[in-house]
């Protein structure tokens, strides 16, 4: 049981992802989280409002299990397969966060960003709305999200996915090193 209560090594997780991708490839399916939103919207009747959502959602309903599995898996992992310890953050990261008034006491989820009280700040609300719109637009414009391109697209050796993943990394670096300090 101790094995399940600690972070799994990258090579085991990577192997399990590769096995999942092989099974999906053999079944003729693609993996991605943003496509689940389109399937969900089509199932709820959004095709009556926008032609983008007019699709045969029943053929992709299996993909909705990915979302359910991610939610249930996260719950089970955090409540039953966790010893409660957070992975350590480097001292350089803690100092960098402190310089922009963000504490590192809650590790990956600083209270200044991830708390109910943070939602009372109009700046936080605007950041969430603008960020959500940009992520949603970017995922549709790029033809998929980071998980779809990085896991499914790259495993299928698709050049557009490689270009998208490189763009995701460059965008992440720009955000963390240039925009994040300006915003906070």
Q: What is the pLDDT of residues 106-156, one digit of tens each?
A: 777 788 878 888 888 888 889 889 988 888 888 877 888 887 888 888 878
Contact 142, 121 (CB under 8 A): no
User: Where are any strands of DSSP class E within the chain?
Assistant: none
DSSP of 79-116, one letter per residue? HTS--SPPPP--HHHHHHHHHTT---TTTTS-TTTSST
pLDDT per position as a tens digit, 159-180: 999 999 999 899 989 988 898 8
Closest CA to 27 of 64, 59, 73: 59
Q: What is the pLDDT of residue 20?
A: 84
* Residues composing the chain: 184
The answer to whether the pTM exceeds 0.95 is no
pLDDT at 1: 67
* pLDDT per position as a tens digit, 3-55: 776 777 778 888 988 888 888 888 887 777 777 888 888 888 888 988 888 88
Is 70 exceeded by the pLDDT of residue 65?
yes
Dist CA 17 CA 24 (whole Å): 11
Q: Is the pLDDT of residue 183 over 70?
A: yes
Q: What is the Cα–Cα distance from 69 to 63, expressed in whole angstroms? A: 10
């Amino acid at each position: 049981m101790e094995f399940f209560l600690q972070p799994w090594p990258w090579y085991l997780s990577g192997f399990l992802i590769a096995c999942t991708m092989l099974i999906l490839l053999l079944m003729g399916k693609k993996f991605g989280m943003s496509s689940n939103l389109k399937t969900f919207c089509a199932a709820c009747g959004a095709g009556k409002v926008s032609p983008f959502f007019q699709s045969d959602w029943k053929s992709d309903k299996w993909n909705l299990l990915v979302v359910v599995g991610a939610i249930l898996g996260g719950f089970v992992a955090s409540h039953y397969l966790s010893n409660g310890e957070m992975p350590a953050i480097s001292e350089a990261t803690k100092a960098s966060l402190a310089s922009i008034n963000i504490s590192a006491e809650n590790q990956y989820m600083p209270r200044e960003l991830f708390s109910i009280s943070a939602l009372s700040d109009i700046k936080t609300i605007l950041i969430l709305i603008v960020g959500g719109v940009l992520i949603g637009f970017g995922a549709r414009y790029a033809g998929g999200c980071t998980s779809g391109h990085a896991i499914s697209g790259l495993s299928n050796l698709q050049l557009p996915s490689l270009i998208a993943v490189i763009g995701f990394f460059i965008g992440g670096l720009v955000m963390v090193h240039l925009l994040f300090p300006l915003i906070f």
